[in-house]
Copies of this chain bind each other. A is one copy, B any other.
Amino acid sequence: MKSIKLIIKTDSQKYPIIIGRKLLSKISYILKDNYIEFGKCLLVLDKNVPIKLVNKIKKSFKKKKIILFKINANEKNKNQKTVNSILKILLDKNFSRNDCLISVGGGITGDISGFAASVYKRGIQFVNMPTTLLSQVDSSIGGKTGVNTIHGKNLIGSFYQPKLVISDIDFLKTLNKREIICGYGEILKHSIISNKTFFKYLDKNYFSIVDLKSPFIEKAISQSCKIKRSVVEKDEKEIGMRKVLNFGHTFAHAFEASLGYSKKLNHGEAVILGIKTALRFSYRNKLLNITDFKILMDHIGKPKLPSDIKKYFSLKDLNKIIHFMMIDKKNISNKINLVLLKRIGSPLINQKYNKNNLRLFIKKELLN
């Protein structure tokens, strides 16, 4: 299959996403083709990216001066300290605004690197090479950057668009199934909030997609990117309808935070549990019809998809979960602001509930 090129146009920047296979040895050409020039280049790499692939990238730059900086990308290290370690290199090496920072890693690496790129001299050129399915279909698009604080996830960050996104499917072949499933969660979310035809495609081809078979995985990634693009282009700063992308995420963030961002439950798994919770809450509040509710629940019941919240939480976690929902960025005054579902393709934003509603629901329906 030939590579796919999508163009994202936001208020602040226009940039391409390139999706394909065997792109790594051509990085240098791809950058040049897309008018990205620089004197110096810092590659921020997740330490888990296989050395074989790193070497391919290095080789592609030939004599061009690049600096490699490996980080241990996990939610615990997704903090200001790691951002500062990147800024220190840029400062020490006297990078100019026209130099370049390239992120090679998953969503965490991209969020940390993108934030560093956005605040260094008020913004240097940023290229994102997402290496996980989750980051290829979701976090690499739309310009959200950020780090966690002890108070919660992504509470410090910026909106900063990359100059280019390069999504090489060869990266995905190095991931284990659990990581593929994580990315699948966001693909599923994109289908639920926007497009019944795409949801049906996923339902039919689920196994081919998670086995990374061509052309199914390419179609799933590019369709997912297109859905995210259409939302982000209309509302870059999440003033209104970009909130639909948070479907399932208020729950997901609270689940992750309650477990202290432990490896036991990673972001994508939390999202799938969050989607399931949001669907059930939508149904219980008579927003979602029973037909769509059942179809969706059946899908989430497919092999390998996490679906049992009680595997991770018990009643003693209830207060923690509610606490983290209360401090969500999207809340206004003291209500929890949720995205819920009317039917497949029709999300409802700004659904405000008080914490007692949510506490009762989670207690009765999920943890009982």
* Copies of this chain, count: 2
Q: How far is the CB of A278 from chain B (nearest CB, A)?
A: 21
Q: How far apart are the CA atoms of A237 and B118 in the complex, in Å?
A: 12
Once A11-B12, A12-B11, A158-B158 are accepted as A-B contacts, the answer to whether A121 and B329 lie under 8 Å apart by CB is yes
Of the candidates B118, B151, B332, which one forms a contact with A91 in the assembled complex, judged by CB atoms under 8 Å apart? B151
Question: What residues of B have a CB within 8 angstroms of the CB of A276 in the complex?
Answer: none
A68 within 8 A of B: no
Per-position binary interface string of chain A over residues 4-48, scored 1 when its CB falls under 8 Å from any chain B CB and 0 otherwise: 000000011000000000000000000000000001000000000
Q: Which of A174-207 contact B (CB under 8 A)?
A: none
Q: How far is the CB of A107 from chain B (nearest CB, A)?
A: 15
Q: How far is the CB of A251 from chain B (nearest CB, A)?
A: 18
A122 within 8 A of B: yes
Interface stretch among A93-101, A224-232, A305-313? A93-101
Q: How far apart are the CA atoms of A326 and B151 in the complex, in Å?
A: 40
Of the candidates B11, B151, B329, which one forms a contact with A96 in the assembled complex, judged by CB atoms under 8 Å apart? B329
Contact B331 A122 (CB under 8 A): no
A157 within 8 A of B: yes
Q: How far apart are the CA atoms of A115 and B123 in the complex, in Å?
A: 13
Q: How far is the CB of A236 from chain B (nearest CB, A)?
A: 9
Question: What residues of B have a CB within 8 angstroms of the CB of A145 in the complex?
Answer: 122
Once A91-B151, A149-B91 are accepted as A-B contacts, the answer to whether A96 and B332 lie under 8 Å apart by CB is yes
Q: How far apart are the CA atoms of A146 and B123 in the complex, in Å?
A: 11
Of the candidates B84, B122, B238, B329, which one forms a contact with A159 in the assembled complex, judged by CB atoms under 8 Å apart? B122
A261 within 8 A of B: no
Question: What residues of B have a CB within 8 angstroms of the CB of A238 in the complex?
Answer: 122
Q: Which of A148-180 contact B (CB under 8 A)?
A: 149, 151, 154-159
Q: How far apart are the CA atoms of A341 and B49 in the complex, in Å?
A: 51
A348 within 8 A of B: no
Per-position binary interface string of chain A over residues 58-100, scored 1 when its CB falls under 8 Å from any chain B CB and 0 otherwise: 0000000000000000000000100010010001101011100
Among A12, A96, A333, chain B packs the most CB atoms within 10 A around the CB of: A96
Q: How far apart are the CA atoms of A92 and B152 in the complex, in Å?
A: 11
Q: How far apart are the CA atoms of A327 and B115 in the complex, in Å?
A: 21
Of the candidates B12, B96, B146, which one forms a contact with A12 in the assembled complex, judged by CB atoms under 8 Å apart? B12
Q: How far is the CB of A241 from chain B (nearest CB, A)?
A: 16
Of the candidates B119, B149, B327, which one forms a contact with A156 in the assembled complex, judged by CB atoms under 8 Å apart? B119
Q: How far apart are the CA atoms of A84 and B79 in the complex, in Å?
A: 13
Per-position binary interface string of chain A over residues 110-125, scored 1 when its CB falls under 8 Å from any chain B CB and 0 otherwise: 0000010011111100
- What would be 15 A-B contacts, judged by CB atoms less than 8 Å apart? A80-B84, A91-B155, A94-B151, A96-B331, A96-B333, A97-B329, A97-B330, A118-B158, A119-B156, A119-B157, A119-B158, A121-B155, A122-B237, A123-B158, A158-B158
Closest 9 CB pairs of A and B: A91-B151, A121-B329, A122-B157, A119-B156, A94-B327, A39-B333, A98-B332, A96-B331, A122-B159
